[in-house]
Amino acid sequence: MEVRLRDREATRERLLAAARALFAEHGYERVTVRMIAAAAEANIALVGRYFGSKAGLFGEVLAGEPTVRQVLEGDLEGLARRLGEYTAQRMRAEPDSPILRTLERSAGDPEIQALLSERLRTAVVNPLAARLEGDDAMARARMATAVFLGVGSVRRLLGPSDPTPEDVDRLTGLFEACLRGRE
């Protein structure tokens, strides 16, 4: 593989990677383009050149994230428990996903909020609703998402707490109640 010092694509990728890590670490507003450029060992002006703006770079970071969460795959019966276990981890530590981490540090800028909203919809809520049956599948998917996001909020605001087996059971029960259709 050729090594080029002046490589537009490689520099662009470095900026993207640095932005991905920093946004996940601190959220949108508390990351400056100077921080990103420094982390990528690139010049500040290149952010504007390659991504148009800070918001454009953020949008590309979001777009680069994988859409389907592995939690949603697998059998439908175990879905509530997988969600319960996955969410229980959120009580202790930050999510791996940059989207979710950024979401938790939630941005006030309406443009950024719209980007996050669109992404949450296509990456979490819609895939989840697609796995459910009934005409209120979307409402139930939203409520399950609420539980999921809420646990993150509580950890962020009140501090982490190690989930007990009872917590996992309780969360699983919550998701079962959310996902269960009318019988």
Q: Which is nearer to DNA, 45 or 76 (CB)?
A: 45
Question: Using CA atoms, how far apart are residues 82 and 75, in angstroms rounded to an integer?
Answer: 10
Q: Does 121 bind a copy of itself (CB under 8 A)?
A: yes
Q: Provide the token pair at 165.
A: 């087996």
**Would you give the binding string for a copy of itself spanning residues 44-83, x where CB under 8 A is met?**
----------------------------------------
The Cα–Cα gap between 33 and 16 comes to 11
Question: How far apart are CB 54 and a copy of itself at their closest, in Å?
Answer: 15
Does 108 interact with a copy of itself (rule: CB under 8 A)?
yes
Q: What are the angstrom distances between the C-alpha of 162 and each of 67, 125, 155?
A: 28, 26, 10
Cα 175 to Cα 169: distance, rounded to the nearest angstrom: 10
Token code pair at residue 115: 């980007």
State the DSSP code for 71. G
- Residue 17, binding choice from DNA, a copy of itself, none, Cβ under 5 to 8 Å by partner class: none
CB 20 → a copy of itself: shortest distance, Å? 18
177 binds a copy of itself (CB under 8 A): yes
**Helix, strand, or coil (residue 160):** coil
Interacting residue with a copy of itself among 96, 157, 165, 183 (CB under 8 A): 157
